[in-house]
Amino acid sequence: MSNIPKYLSYKAAWERINHALEMGFYLEAITIQESIISDRLLSYVLGVTPEAKVSTKSGLGKLISHWRKHAGSSLIETNKSDLGQAVDVWRDRRNDSVHGLVKSTPRTATMQPEDFFEMTRQTAEEGKILARKVLNWHKKTLRDLKS
Please report, for the chain, the start and end positions of each structural domain, with discontinuous segments joined by +.
Answer: 4-146
What's the predicted TM-score (pTM) here?
Answer: 0.94
Give the gyration radius of the chain's Cα atoms. Answer: 16
Q: Where are the beta strands (DSSP E) in 22-80?
A: none
The string of pLDDT tens digits covering residues 66-117 is 999 999 989 998 788 999 999 999 999 999 999 999 998 999 998 999 999 9
Output the pLDDT for position 124: 98
The answer, yes or no, to whether residue 1 has pLDDT greater than 80, is no
Residues 137 and 95: their CA atoms lie apart, in Å, by: 24
